Amino acid sequence: MHPLAVETSQLTSTEPSWASASSEKLETELIAKYGESQRARLNRGLHQVSEFWRVEDGDAQELEDFVRTNFAGDQTTLDTMFTRLESLFEQLDGHMHEINREFRQQLDLDRGPILPFDEVVGGYDPSAHVLDDFFANKLGFTVLLNFPLTTLDERLKEGPEWSRRQWAEVRLAQRFSKRIPAEVSLAIAQADAESNKYIAEYNIWMHHLLTPQGQRLFPPKMRLLSHWNLRDEIKADYPDKQNGLAKQRMIQQVMERIVTQTIPASVINNPGVDWNPQSNEVTPAAVKDSELAGNAEASNFREPDTRYAMLRKTFFAAKKADPYSPTEPTLIARRFEEDREIPEARVKAMLEQVVTSPLVAQTAKLIQSRLGRPLEPFDIWYNGFRPGSQYSEAELDAKVEKKYPSAEAYQKDIPNLLMKLGFSSERAQYLAKHIAVDPSRGAGHAMGAGMRSERAHLRTRIDKNGMDYKGFNVAVHEMGHTVEQTFSLNDVDHTLLQGVPNTAFTEAFAFVFQGHDLELLGLPAPDARSQAERILNDFWGTYEISGVALVDMAVWHWMYDHPQATPTELNHATVQIAKDTWNRYYAPVFHKSDVVLLGVYSHMIDSFLYLPDYPIGHLIAFQIEEQMKKAGAIGPEFERMAVMGRVTPDLWMEHATGRPVGAEALLEAAHHALTVVSSPQ
């Protein structure tokens, strides 16, 4: 047995041995004091406290005194406790966020050179130890003693009947649903950093790839990071009529060798050798296109399953937290039940609904006719669905530059822009007051506030000549975020419910705004054909990423089922899972089996089961977008949806659209788009 596995399996509970005797004693005593009506609450509170109490928190006497002092045994005390804590946590979160925002200013804003210490300041997280502090001073135990911890199952089944106050109590208690020891958090952070580094340095030197005839298809100096740059190069190669196809096939071979780990270790991040990915032959580089020294030792020893050793490290680190998370005792459960709040089985069913849709074959046929050849596996990254534009980028740039020479000019125009999106003049003014526009260093981003006395910050890129069209398009997206952030903090009835169920929801709002950017410039909206092209692009992308997510999910299950597996065994299992997934959902469309491409995503190695967020995000975006279309004006509908706050995604979506989260909106839109695109122009 692996040593880490022994260590974690012994830690099934942290509860002290005397805890149950103390609980019985307290129950008798406190029911006598507060009455029978408090029995259920008290039992739950005692159970929750003893589940998290450790020997170092105190002995039986201390626990008993703590409970006697802090159990709110009547409604008035409980109400006071709830109201005060709600307000205090708003202040705490809001100020922590404020410090973080201030500390990041030099990194985030267009304010001149960054000095080394700015990176340290920007990386500082003032809230990192808050949870530990609140278990140490026992405020966390006070919450656990008085408010209910819930499972996702309870939130889904009973949540629709709960009052808003009950929902707020549930979110209050959830802050303390895990008590991960510092050394476990550190182990997770280390595995995260190590796997990130492995991924970040996994470059392929493209000019050093040789065809069987010894040709170099890619230009000198081209260095592509796996898998993102490799995938984007496949996309970029479609217009290349001469070598595009040969390049795409070669990249596919490289990706397959990464997944199967038959890639020679010497070709990773090394411009010192040439490599023929087909025969796998490695030779000293015959050309020099890099300042980097490179290692000319031409060995074709394969990478020794390092990819899977990294993945396995993240698994062991994540597993260490299992015993300290009683309501979600696996990483899989924490991802789906705590972070996403959609049960894994439902997510799986939604993704399968996408990948088995008959619309996939229809879309594939359309792609095939546009390409003029049968599909090849790398065409899962086909990107030829593009909205046409009546205006050149230069025309749009000129228009935007004139309108927005500075961040202040955009700030001033916000009420006007919002009114064009259907907000009343009163709401537009109100929102504008809550949004601060700052010139950003990067492309732009939105940073909401954590408390009502703060504004949301819209960061946008302003060049010397002013804003360009790309910058405007991003600014409109970010404005969508800041409007959502303002409503869901300032207009939600409980600050404990501030926000949206997860990031997919705020992205959806941002995309709705972004989709109307031309109209905001006083130009006509994209025509039906352009809209249909965009929808098909999203649909094909969702089809691709759904398969990738299904592989990620199956691999994590396999790791939990085989905790002692070696990196080589994990390699074989992952390859088999990627093939099985391909054979089931992609082979019928591509007419080729046993393809391993679905296993190439780098986030599968370093991101702890993050990939399902992508397809879920697409589905949610379509639901919200379709609902906005049905409602007509964006403004009032946006506000109605956004003030629901952070309940479960399904409850939120039922309130917003009348249906739970699902694939139907995307599939209906894709169906319609196929009709539009197929009709004569």
Q: How far is CA 519 from CA 56, 523, 638, in A?
A: 62, 5, 18
Interacting span for Zn ion (CB under 5 A) from 76-84, 241-249, 506-514, 634-642 = 506-514
Q: What amino acid occupies position 486?
A: T
Q: What share of the chain is helix, strand, coil (3-state, %, to 5)?
A: 65, 5, 30
* Cβ-based nearer residue to Zn ion, 104 or 348: 104
The torsion defined by the Cα of 345, 351, 352 and 353, in degrees rounded to 10, comes to: 110
Interacting span for Zn ion (CB under 5 A) from 503-511, 547-555, 599-607, 614-622 = 503-511
Interacting span for Zn ion (CB under 5 A) from 206-214, 275-283, 447-455, 500-508 = 500-508
In whole angstroms, what is the distance from residue 72 CA to residue 603 CA? 46
* Cβ-based nearer residue to Zn ion, 328 or 507: 507
Give the interface size with Zn ion as a residue count (CB under 5 A): 2
Q: HSE of 528 in the Cβ direction (CA atoms, 13 Å)?
A: 11
* Cβ-based nearer residue to Zn ion, 507 or 639: 507
Interacting span for Zn ion (CB under 5 A) from 197-205, 502-510, 601-609, 620-628 = 502-510
Interacting span for Zn ion (CB under 5 A) from 285-293, 302-310, 508-516, 561-569 = 508-516
Residues 384-423 as x/- pattern, contact with Zn ion by CB under 5 A: ----------------------------------------
Q: What is the smallest separation between the CB atom of 517 and Zn ion, expressed in angstroms?
A: 14
In whole angstroms, what is the distance from residue 563 CA to residue 316 CA? 8
Residues 172-201 as x/- pattern, contact with Zn ion by CB under 5 A: ------------------------------
Say whether residue 504 binds Zn ion (CB under 5 A).
Answer: no
| Residue number closest to Zn ion, CB atom | 510
* Cβ-based nearer residue to Zn ion, 510 or 656: 510
| Phi, psi for 72 (deg, rounded to 5) | -85, 95
Q: What is the smallest separation between the CB atom of 417 and Zn ion, expressed in angstroms?
A: 17
Q: What is the smallest separation between the CB atom of 380 and Zn ion, expressed in angstroms?
A: 24
Q: How far is CA 38 from CA 50, 71, 162, 164, in A?
A: 18, 10, 19, 21
Say whether residue 156 binds Zn ion (CB under 5 A).
Answer: no
In whole angstroms, what is the distance from residue 480 CA to residue 641 CA? 13
Instruction: Give the list of residues 6+ apart from residue 186 with CB closer than 8 angstroms, or none.
Output: none
Interacting span for Zn ion (CB under 5 A) from 276-284, 403-411, 448-456, 501-509 = 501-509
Member of 49, 168, 510, 611 binding Zn ion (CB under 5 A) = 510
Q: 3-state SS string over 377-444?
A: HHHHHCCCCCCCCCCCHHHHHHHHHHHCCCHHHHHHHHHHHHHHCCCCHHHHHHHHHCEEEEEECCCE
Q: What is the smallest separation between the CB atom of 442 and Zn ion, expressed in angstroms?
A: 13
Q: What is the smallest separation between the CB atom of 512 and Zn ion, expressed in angstroms?
A: 11
In whole angstroms, what is the distance from residue 356 CA to residue 283 CA? 44
Q: What is the smallest separation between the CB atom of 107 and Zn ion, expressed in angstroms?
A: 18
Q: What is the smallest separation between the CB atom of 541 and Zn ion, expressed in angstroms?
A: 16
Interacting span for Zn ion (CB under 5 A) from 263-271, 499-507, 593-601, 640-648 = 499-507
**473 touches 517 (CB < 8 A):** yes
Q: What is the smallest separation between the CB atom of 638 and Zn ion, expressed in angstroms?
A: 15
Q: What is the smallest separation between the CB atom of 511 and Zn ion, expressed in angstroms?
A: 8
* Cβ-based nearer residue to Zn ion, 510 or 559: 510
In whole angstroms, what is the distance from residue 325 CA to residue 177 CA? 7
Say whether residue 318 binds Zn ion (CB under 5 A).
Answer: no
Q: How far is CA 584 from CA 356, 588, 591, 592, in A?
A: 9, 7, 11, 11
In whole angstroms, what is the distance from residue 8 CA to residue 265 CA? 33
- Paired strand residues for 223: 205
First to last CA, the chain: 65
Coil, strand, or helix at residue 453?
A: coil
Q: What is the smallest separation between the CB atom of 409 and Zn ion, expressed in angstroms?
A: 22
* Cβ-based nearer residue to Zn ion, 270 or 514: 514
Instruction: Provide the 8-state DSSP code for 175.
Output: T
Q: HSE of 422 in the Cβ direction (CA atoms, 13 Å)?
A: 14
- Paired strand residues for 439: 460
In whole angstroms, what is the distance from residue 336 CA to residue 342 CA? 6
Q: What is the smallest separation between the CB atom of 57 and Zn ion, expressed in angstroms?
A: 41
Q: What is the smallest separation between the CB atom of 361 and Zn ion, expressed in angstroms?
A: 32
**613 touches 340 (CB < 8 A):** yes
Structure tokens at 196: 């990130």
* Cβ-based nearer residue to Zn ion, 337 or 478: 478
Interface residues toward Zn ion, by CB under 5 A: 507, 510
